[in-house]
Amino acid sequence: MNTNTPENNPAAASAPAAASPLATPGSEAAPAAVSPETQAALASTAHAPNSPGATHIRSFVHRRGHITQGQLAALERLMGQWSIPYAPRRLDPAAAFGRQAPTVLEIGFGMGETTEKIALARPDDNFLGVEVFNAGVGSLLRRIEDSSIPNLRIVQHDAVEVVRDMIAPDSLAGVHIYFPDPWPKKRHHKRRLIQPAFIALLASRIAPGGYIHCATDWEDYAVQMLEVLGNEPQFANTADGYAPRPDYRPLTKFENRGLRLGHGVWDLIFKRVA
């Protein structure tokens, strides 16, 4: 999820605005085409509820943002088919996907371009994508339908709570976190997703031998990621520092543009040790 510019990242604006989860710029109301059932389902994501005693800082801020009619239509038609509602209980992947297969969690899939390509290239794996923003969820739902992707499901909710409440220990084959919001201002670094407590939680959900793969195009965030992952005793680095980009992670159009401009991209791949 490349979130380095305000137009690509609703959380990059300077001040929050309370709004309906489906509100569009210049409008206080949701588009009329949405059924009450879909509206109610999406409204719950405007503020992901804490489980009792939870105190974590969310790494996103909901704001009024643009959503196309195609994305809105996908939310209306396809949420029930390809999404899994958040619930504070363990998910049964075999039931959710209709088969037994290794499950890979992707946190923050943005508009779903990379997620679509990886799921198509790895049909023997199940992919569970977590995202909070309606436009991205609608976009990936359209991709699932257009490309006939059977091995991909979506949870629209706060990733920390999904991992904590829905993912069983030692159950994931892998975790992908691509281009998370860098929160570049120093005072906002506490909002970054890659923090010791969350990485320890993720490590506990990955099966021994499984992996976590992070990527960022912000060098100072890459340094933080390397430090946090390197200090987690349940992980071992697969490279001497940063890793080469693996073939399964395709280059995004934003990444290609950045590389042409001389910007760096850093991949980190760590394995869960027993």
Query: Of 125, 181, 217, 267, which is the active-site residue?
Result: 181
User: Given this model, what pLDDT does residue 16 score?
Assistant: 33
Question: Residue for token digits 């001040």?
Answer: 15
- The residue-averaged pLDDT of 227-233 equals 98
Q: What is the DSSP letter of 103?
A: E
- The residue-averaged pLDDT of 64-77 equals 86
Q: Above 70 in pLDDT, residue 20?
A: no
Is 192 within 8 Å of 182 (Cβ atoms)?
A: yes
User: Given this model, what pLDDT does residue 34 score?
Assistant: 60
Question: Residue for token digits 């200090």?
Answer: 231
Distance CA 213, CA 265 (A): 13
What residue ranges in the chain does DSSP mark as E strands?
Answer: 103-107, 126-130, 152-155, 172-178, 206-216, 235-237, 266-272
Over residues 85-137, the pLDDT tens digits come to 999 999 999 999 999 999 999 999 999 999 999 999 999 999 999 999 999 99
- The residue-averaged pLDDT of 38-61 equals 48
**CA 88 to the chain's CA centroid:** 18
Q: Above 90 in pLDDT, residue 253?
A: no
Distance CA 68, CA 81 (A): 20
User: Given this model, what pLDDT does residue 270 score?
Assistant: 98
- The residue-averaged pLDDT of 140-164 equals 97
What percentage of the chain carries pLDDT values higher than 90?
Answer: 71
User: Given this model, what pLDDT does residue 261 score?
Assistant: 83
Q: pLDDT-derived band of residue 169, with 50, 70 and 90 as boundaries?
A: very high
> pTM here?
0.80
Q: In the annotation, is 267 catalytic?
A: no
User: Given this model, what pLDDT does residue 36 score?
Assistant: 64
Mean pLDDT, the chain, rounded, equals 83
- The residue-averaged pLDDT of 216-244 equals 97
Using alpha carbons, list the distances in angstroms from residue 29 to 24, 143, 217.
8, 27, 36
Q: pLDDT-derived band of residue 71, with 50, 70 and 90 as boundaries?
A: very high
DSSP 3-state of 8: coil
User: Given this model, what pLDDT does residue 161 score?
Assistant: 97
